Structure 1
Amino acid sequence: MSMKRVQQGFTLIELMIVVAIIGILAAVAIPQYRDYTGKARVGSALAQVDGVKKAVALCIQTIGTKTGCTTGSNDVLDFAATKEIASAKAADGIIDVVLNKGIHGDIDGQTIKMTPTEDGARISWKNECAGCTKGAVTDSITKNNP
C-alpha cells in the first residue's frame, strides 16, 4: 500500500508575491492616510476657532468696523489652547491661529491668518497660511475662501 504525500502550505514564490502586493498597497495607503488625518485635524482646529470668529463678527457688526475688535476687548474673549491650537488671538478683526506641532508635517507650528471681509450684513472669512508647505492639507485650509 503506497500513499502519496499531499502538498501542504504555500511555495516560496507564492509568499513572495503576497508580500510584494502588501508592500505596494502600504506604499500607497500610508501617505494617503497621513493626508486624511492631517485634513481632519485641520478641520477640527478651524472649527475650534469658530467661537472667536463669531465674537469678532459680532464686534464688527456692533462697532461697524474691524478696528478695535481685538482679543480682550469688545467681548472678544481669550482662546484657551487645545491639542491642535497653541493660541488664537484677534487684532483689529484679523485672527492669528498658531497651530501645534504634530498635526501634519506641512503645517506644524505654522500660523493661519483669518481675515474678515464685510459685505453689508454678511461677513466672510479668508484663510491664509503663508509658511505652510503646499499640499492636500494646506488646500483644506484655503478651500472655502471667497
Structure 2
Amino acid sequence: MKSIQMNHAQKGFTLIELMIVVAIIGILAAIAIPQYQDYIARSQVTRVVGELSALKTSAEEQLMRGQTPSGDGDAVGFAGSDLLDETNGFDLDFSAGGGAGTITGTLGNNASAAVEGAQVILSREADGSWSCVIDESGAPAGAWDNSYAPSGCPVSS
C-alpha cells in the first residue's frame, strides 16, 4: 500500500504574530488613554459651566423682584454637583449691590485630577451682562490644559 502524506495547515499563531499584536495594542493604548483623559476633563469643565449657567435665570429673577441672591445654592435652586468641591465648591456673592455679583464653582470631588481646583466664575455686571471665565490657578501645576475650557468661557490670564 502506498502511504499518503498530507500537508497539515498551520494551526494557531506563532510567537512573533502574537508579539506584533501586543505591540500594536500597546501603541494604540498609549495614544488613546491620554486622549480619553483629556476628553473627560473637557466634558467635566463644560458640564460645570452648564450647571452654573442654569442658575443665572434664577438669579436674574430675584434681581428683577428687587431681591439680592445670597446664601448657599438653595437661594437660586442649585441642587449640587458631584464635580464640585464638597466643602468650598459653590459660592454665590451678590453683595456688591446694583445687581453685580458672581456665581463661582470650584471643581473637586469626582472631577478629574487635571481640573481639580480650577474655578468657573460667572460674573454679572450692574448693566445685566454676564461673563464667564475659568481660573485655573487652583489646578495642579502642569495638569491644566487651556483646551479644557469651553469656547464661551475662556481661561483668565
For normalisation by structure 2, the TM-score amounts to 0.69
Counterpart secondary structure, 1:107? coil
Question: Per-residue deviation at 1:27?
Answer: 0.6
Which amino acid in structure 2 is aligned with residue 116 of structure 1?
Answer: R
| Amino acid paired to 2:59 | V
1:5 counterpart residue number: 8
Residue 130 of structure 2 aligns with which residue? 124
Matched residue, 2:55 = 52
Structure 2: how far apart are the matches of 1:128 and 1:61? Answer: 27
Q: How many residue pairs end up in the alignment?
A: 137
Deviation, 1:2, is 1.7
Please, which runs of 5 or more residues in structure 2 have no aligned partner? 95-100
Q: Answer yes or no: is the 8 Å Cα contact 1:106–1:138 preserved in 2.
A: no
- Structure 1 length normalisation: TM-score? 0.73
Question: Aligned-residue CA RMSD in angstroms?
Answer: 2.9
Between 83-92 and 25-34, the greater mean CA deviation after superposition: 83-92
Q: How big is each residue's C-alpha offset from its partner over 1:77-108, in whole Å with a ceiling of 9 and x where there is no partner?
A: 36332222244221121112122333211222
Map of 1:84 onto structure 2: 83
> How much identity, in percent, do the aligned residues show?
30
Distance 1:69 1:138 in 2: 32
d(CA) in 2 for partners of 1:79 and 1:108? 20
Partners of 1:69 and 1:90 within 8 A in 2? no
The answer to whether the Cα contact below 8 Å between 2:52 and 2:103 also exists between their aligned partners in 1 is: no
State how far apart, in whole Å, the 2-side matches of 1:134 and 1:117 are: 28
Structure 1 residue matching 2:76: 3-state secondary structure: coil
How far apart, in 2, do the equivalents of 1:113 and 1:76 lie?
17
Q: CA 1:41/1:29 → structure 2, altered by over 3 Å: closer, same or farther?
A: same
Aligned residue type for 1:4: N
**Alpha-carbon deviations, 1:6-30, whole Å to 9, x = none?**
2111211111111101100011001
Provide, for residues 8-64 of structure 1, a one-character-per-residue CA deviation record: whole Å limited to 9, x for no partner: 11211111111101100011001111111222222222222233222333455565x
Counterpart mapping for 1:1-146 below 5 A: 1-60=4-63, 69-72=68-71, 76-77=75-76, 79-85=78-84, 86=86, 87-92=89-94, 93-117=101-125, 123-129=129-135, 130-132=137-139, 133-136=143-146, 138-140=148-150, 143-145=151-153
| 1:137 Cα deviation from its structure 2 partner | 5.6
- Tell me whether 91-100 or 19-28 shows the greater mean CA deviation: 91-100
